[in-house]
Amino acid sequence: MKRFLFTCFFAFCLVFPSVAETSLLHEVEQAYQNMKNFKAEFKQELFHRESNTTQTRTGTLEFMPETFIFWETNAPNRELIVCNDKEVWNYLPDEELAYHYSPKVLDTSHAILNVITGQAKLEDGFETEFLSENTEKNTQQFTLYPLEPNPQLTEITLTVNTKTKRIQKIVVLDFFGNLNTIEFTNFNADIALKKSRFYLSLPDTVEIEDHFGD
């Protein structure tokens, strides 16, 4: 189950979006590229099909270009995902366990962390299908299909705010029928963040599973 939670992050349709809808996705990409950084709170639901169980989690996400990420889950169990230009860590403090990866794990159009931080090229890495629009909530929904097949990501349902041009909700479906739903709240851009925030110092008691060379 532990590896399933982390795998949820790293991850052809015949209906094509209209010009206006394609333009919105491009505006979303531009909006994120123009941000110096951001911090957002999130609610996450992880549905595991085999066990038919759902885990609900809350936490915060902080981001700085290029791919400096600090993901912290507060409840029900604390978990950190910390990415910088040198390494990626997935740290489970309660279990005194940490997984160590190369930053190359993010070098793919379908890495979920790239999508939720606005770094993925939505129009280049995915086939997109317009689903619906809610004018009262100022949102549009799209389905995204990765051009490169991947068992960790077969389909994304993306909800974007048409006014702020920000990702409001993302639902990821993998090959096994598992769902990873992330909804953002309290989004703050261009705040005071330092790069030192995105480097992790682990206690000596932590067991490290090193996958840096994988």
Task: Identify the burial level of 118 via C-beta atoms within 10 angstroms of its C-beta, where 0-12 means exposed, 13-18 middle and 19 or more buried.
Answer: buried
- Within-domain flag for 183: yes
Higher pLDDT, 54 or 149: 54
183, 46 in Cβ contact below 8 A? no
Domain region containing 43: 2-187
Question: Residue 208: inside a domain, yes or no?
Answer: no
Count: domains in the chain: 1
Give domain status of residue 105, yes or no.
yes
- Would 177 be classed as within a structural domain? yes
User: Residue 175 domain-assigned?
Assistant: yes
Residue 40 lies in a domain: yes
Burial of 133 (0-12, 13-18, 19+ CB in 10 A): middle
Confidence check: pLDDT of 17 > 60: no
For range 42-63, the mean pLDDT? 94
* Residue 117, in any domain of the structure: yes
**Exposed / middle / buried, residue 126 (Cβ in 10 Å: 0-12, 13-18, 19+):** buried
Q: Give mean pLDDT, residues 180-191.
A: 92
Mean pLDDT, residues 115-124: 73
Domain-embedded: residue 211: no
State the CATH number of the domain containing residue 108.
2.50.20.10
